[in-house]
Amino acid sequence: MNKSSIKKYLKFMCCIVGVLSLSGCKESSSDDKKSYTEEELYRPNFHFTPKNAWMNDPNGMFYYNGYYHLYFQYYPDSNVWGPMHWGHAISTDMVTWTEKPIAIYPDEKGYIFSGSAVVDLENTSGFGSLKNPPIVAMFTYHNPEKEKSGEPGVQSQGIAYSLDEGLTWTKYESNPVIEFPSLKDFRDPKITWDNIHKQWLMVLAAGDKTIFYGSNNLKEWKMLSDFGKSIGAHGGVWECPDFFPMLIGDSDEYKWVLLLSINPGGPNGGSATQYFVGDFDGKTFVLDESFSKDMDGQKGLWIDYGRDNYAGVTWSNISETDGRKLFLGWMSNWQYANKVPTEKWRGSMTIPRELSLIKNNGHYRVTSQPVRELQNYVSKTIKKDILHIKDKKTVLVDKSSVDLSSLDIRFTLKNLKKDVYTFSLSNSSNNSISFGINKKENYFFIDRKKSGNLSFSDAFAKQISKAPFTEDFDKIDVRVIIDKTSIEVFYNNGKTVMTEIFFPEKPMQTFSVNKENFNFTIEALTINQLNFN
């Protein structure tokens, strides 16, 4: 079946299945006679978005020959979710991206749901050669005909390979390579080379648990074990797992980390990504005892406590010389993703982040920070060594000094008391996005109730998002990444992170801080202007 026939078939199927509930079965109206002033206002400066149409989960991320590859869930014919393809973009630094043609199309076996890709350097699959190693992708086939009829085996796992470094793909003639007809939700395979146990290792989501598989050739897979039933947060279906070993700080000790996205059931509603820390013997994953106690006490530990970081996974094939564990998430939430007020495109990614595993007083935590490559885009820096905050409201910087649509801000807060410390971006339309620290009730927060356009969803700004303190403090380091319609806040070197999107009526013009009662000090305030022209 050629691509044109496939597209006609899928449009016919979408009418039957009704997947395009918000737009019917019409082509995207993005090129009709509309004004796209919103596109200029809302499209990020440096977070990846597709040029047109719908995007969600990051997929198939790998690094090879100087390029970071990002594939993503993509529906080219509408700005809402539909029959899934794999879109594709490449970058030399994970910050500036070049979008490429669609990589993998749906076929008669179904839509192409989320998955992963690896560089088969030893050609264990036999698809390439040692001189030209194949890139091997595994993805979930989702069969809409079976879903409609109630047949089993709606989701299965297929593979494809590329011999031109990920630009074009050939699907394996013996697909699917893994089936599990008794499971309705059986998807999002994440492959890694397990150098400790010398095997290809794959983890996928299976409703309320994950299943581990092992292979020697990426084509034939053996089930190893499962994990997660009745462990962790279970407010919704599990999705988009990732699994890898990490060194603890600067030591030689390591633990295995399992990332697991869930929708709904996040700490502030809707979509979010939890994580687990433990040990893996090549077959079975067991939670570390101290982590298990922490998790029970906090009802889950989360990569990001904001409402807009979902389905995040890591890049494969990062060199030992680099050594980083690099992560990217989809910057939205299924509670309103189909409704956000952009027309030509929908969906963006978080800033790429470096994950680290730390151990503090017997407690394991996964931390994250923006990748260091972002520093290469700093065009101007404003520094203030010490600010003694005595007034109820203090303006820290405004549009006369910097463009507030692209900033990397860092500072340290000292002498914090039982008070509420609120930082705000605001404009002359009385829009504001606020974040900060409530030391009266011990939580970090983001408040977007006055952030601009809220009309598209009752759920978008229904509540203030909160992240609990893990320990008390009177001093804290803060980093904030601002990109037009998103804010990413990293507390305590990324021990707690919050990411959220917003849609102001005009660009933000002022960055200020409010306190309620006590004076405090801001030290080492650094405001970096980012420039991408």
Options 32, 57, 226, 385, the catalytic residue: 57
Helices (H), 108-227: 144-149
Question: Count of CB atoms within 10 A of residue 516's CB?
Answer: 13
Alpha carbon distance 527, 403 (integer Å):
11
Alpha carbon distance 106, 175 (integer Å):
13
User: Is residue 57 annotated as part of the catalytic site, yes or no?
Assistant: yes
Alpha carbon distance 191, 145 (integer Å):
28
Residue 404's nearest CA partner among 289, 508, 533, 305 is 508
Alpha carbon distance 45, 58 (integer Å):
19
Helices (H), 201-270: none
Map tokens 């449009």 to a residue.
11
Amino acid in the structure at residue 440: K
The phi, psi pair for 102, rounded to 5°, reads -55, 135
Which regions of 76-142 does DSSP assign to beta strands (E)? 85-91, 98-104, 111-119, 135-142
Residue 43's nearest CA partner among 58, 28, 60, 55 is 55
Q: What's 313's DSSP letter?
A: E
Q: Which residues pair with 255 in a beta bridge?
A: 246
Alpha carbon distance 484, 76 (integer Å):
25
Alpha carbon distance 143, 491 (integer Å):
43
State the Rg of the chain over Cα: 23
The phi, psi pair for 71, rounded to 5°, reads -105, 160
Alpha carbon distance 332, 322 (integer Å):
29
- Are 181 and 153 in contact by the 8 Å Cβ rule? The answer is yes
Which residues participate in catalysis according to the annotation?
A: 57
